Amino acid sequence: MGDLVQTLPALTDAARANPDIRFDWVVDESFSQVPAWHPRVEKVFPSAFRRWNKNWLRSLKSREPQEFLKQLRRRKYDLIVDLQGEFKSALAARLARGPRCGYDARAAHEWGAHFLYQKKIFVPKGIHSIQRMRQSLSQALDYEYDPDQVDYGIESSSLGPPPPSLPEPYFVFVHSTSWPSKVWPEHYWRTLIETATATGFSVVLPWGDQAERQRALRIAAGHKDAVVLPPLSISEKAAIIARAQATVGLDTGLSHIAAAFAVPSVTLYGATDPLLVGATGKKQVHLTSEFECIKCHETVCSYQKPAEFKPACFVEITPGRVWQALQKLLTTKYDETQKVLARV
């Protein structure tokens, strides 16, 4: 999901360069709501390649892949651009009708995907993913953009109805992420909740699957001002995040949503590099440690030396340090608000 959110500024750039441009978007079915947040996206094609790949025979009998292909090929496009550079995304580009553009052999995420493109572009891998996709789309469509201006272009009205009633003011704590190596320990979350609720804030805990829900319940246990959300869509979670006083989160999609809405946020990084994938927007703080194997990009912590817990790179990112960073963000926000009120 984070990749999708970080693609949105590229669409805004293209729309500024060409006010008539419109996009259709092939996206994993789990995150199909995200592209529709951008006003220049007309149609979203939810794909289920991962689910279909588990049992192709059953999938073909259901006729889901055939219907997906039929819808995808209904229109001929002026240009098809693959901004991921993976086999799966390159295949989707190949199935659509129109000239295909994607990364060359040096830039593709998975080598070999470049064979399916007709026009090839090069963008270095060692830059932030937002800038990489902005550069890619600008090369593909031949326009210039301002790299210092990042606009996600999200229309709040596209998020749907208001979220359920929540005790305000509230923080959102984003505790779930896809990699075990990016998970901050539960006892740290509980300590942070104690500090936050003692200062008059409520804490809201979103989740995606049942394992994440159980973690949320454990983290919130015994705290009357900690709320575990019910099952919600991505758009509903985004609406809740957009109204939060602040968020604390891990390197995951919901943290990027907070950045897109300029919600004051502290995001914790260990196995991943914020210089390459960090949440980008106003009032964003990235916390890292000086641990010897940070930015390892391993999905599971493989540190072999003694450590208080795994992932070991998070030992130094304590609740106290997180709270201090959050307080600094909030103080800045409230000072700005007080200055505005003083002028009224």
The answer to whether 79 touches 140, Cβ cutoff 8 Å, is yes
Q: Which structural domain range is residue 289 located in?
A: 166-343
Amino acid at 233: S
User: Do 143 and 46 have their domain in common?
Assistant: yes
For range 100-129, the mean pLDDT: 94
User: Do 141 and 181 have their domain in common?
Assistant: no
User: Do 235 and 308 have their domain in common?
Assistant: yes
Look at residue 78 and tell me if it is in a domain: yes
User: Do 118 and 258 have their domain in common?
Assistant: no
Last residue of a domain, one of 120, 153, 186: 153
User: Do 179 and 74 have their domain in common?
Assistant: no
Per-residue pLDDT tens digits for 289-329: 888 888 999 999 998 888 888 999 999 999 999 999 999 99
Residue 206 has pLDDT above 50, yes or no: yes
Q: What is the pLDDT of residue 229?
A: 95
Q: How confident is the model at residue 343 (pLDDT cuts 50, 70, 90)?
A: very low
Residue 340 has pLDDT above 50, yes or no: no
Q: How confident is the model at residue 121 (pLDDT cuts 50, 70, 90)?
A: very high
Q: How far is CA 113 from CA 72, 102, 106, 108, 147, in A?
A: 19, 8, 11, 7, 27
Look at residue 160 and tell me if it is in a domain: no
The answer to whether 203 touches 194, Cβ cutoff 8 Å, is no
Last residue of a domain, one of 119, 153, 187: 153
User: Do 181 and 309 have their domain in common?
Assistant: yes
Residue 341 has pLDDT above 90, yes or no: no
Enumerate long-range contacts of 71-77, CB under 8 Å, 24 or more apart.
71/45, 72/26, 72/45, 72/96, 73/97, 75/24, 77/24
Look at residue 159 and tell me if it is in a domain: no
The answer to whether 234 touches 217, Cβ cutoff 8 Å, is no
Q: What is the pLDDT of residue 262?
A: 94
Cα–Cα distance, 298 to 254 (Å, whole number):
21
The answer to whether 91 touches 110, Cβ cutoff 8 Å, is no
Grouping H, G, I as helix, E, B as strand and the rest as coil, residue 99 is: coil
Q: Which residue has the tokens 């949503």?
A: 257
Look at residue 161 and tell me if it is in a domain: no
Question: In angstroms, how far is CA 27 from the centroid of its own chain?
Answer: 14
Give the pair of three-digit tokens for residue 313: 């790179």
What is the number of structural domains in the chain? 2
Q: How many CB atoms lie within 10 A of CB 88?
A: 17
User: Do 200 and 128 have their domain in common?
Assistant: no
Q: How confident is the model at residue 202 (pLDDT cuts 50, 70, 90)?
A: very high
Please report the sign of the dihedral spanned by the C-alpha atoms of residue 150, residue 148, residue 11, residue 107. negative
Look at residue 158 and tell me if it is in a domain: no
Q: How many CB atoms lie within 10 A of CB 92?
A: 22
The rounded percent of the chain whose pLDDT value lies above 90 is: 82
User: Do 224 and 332 have their domain in common?
Assistant: yes
With a CB cutoff of 8 Å and minimum separation 6, the contacts of 48 are 28, 29, 59, 64, 65, 68
User: Do 330 and 293 have their domain in common?
Assistant: yes
Last residue of a domain, one of 102, 119, 153: 153
Q: How many CB atoms lie within 10 A of CB 227?
A: 19
Per-residue pLDDT tens digits for 230-261: 999 999 999 999 999 999 999 999 999 999 99
Q: What is the pLDDT of residue 335?
A: 40
Tell me the pTM.
Answer: 0.91
Q: What is the pLDDT of residue 214?
A: 97
User: Do 58 and 187 have their domain in common?
Assistant: no
Amino acid at 179: W
User: Do 146 and 185 have their domain in common?
Assistant: no
Look at residue 200 and tell me if it is in a domain: yes
Which residues on adjacent β-strands are paired with residue 249? 174, 267
Q: What is the pLDDT of residue 160?
A: 76
Phi-psi region of 297 (alpha: psi -120 to 50; beta: other; left: phi over 0): left
Q: How far is CA 151 from CA 22, 253, 260, 282, in A?
A: 17, 17, 8, 11
The answer to whether 121 touches 107, Cβ cutoff 8 Å, is yes
Residue 342 has pLDDT above 60, yes or no: no
Please report the sign of the dihedral spanned by the C-alpha atoms of residue 245, residue 211, residue 217, residue 184. negative
User: Do 218 and 110 have their domain in common?
Assistant: no
Q: How confident is the model at residue 62 (pLDDT cuts 50, 70, 90)?
A: very high
Look at residue 301 and tell me if it is in a domain: yes
Helical segments of the chain, H only: 2-17, 49-54, 56-62, 64-72, 87-95, 129-141, 186-198, 210-220, 234-242, 253-260, 274-277, 319-343
Per-residue pLDDT tens digits for 84-113: 999 999 999 999 999 999 999 999 999 999
Q: What is the pLDDT of residue 293?
A: 87
Cα–Cα distance, 80 to 71 (Å, whole number):
15
Q: What is the pLDDT of residue 344?
A: 22
Look at residue 306 and tell me if it is in a domain: yes
CATH number at residue 103: 3.40.50.2000
Average pLDDT along the chain: 92
Q: What is the pLDDT of residue 27?
A: 95
Q: What is the pLDDT of residue 50?
A: 87
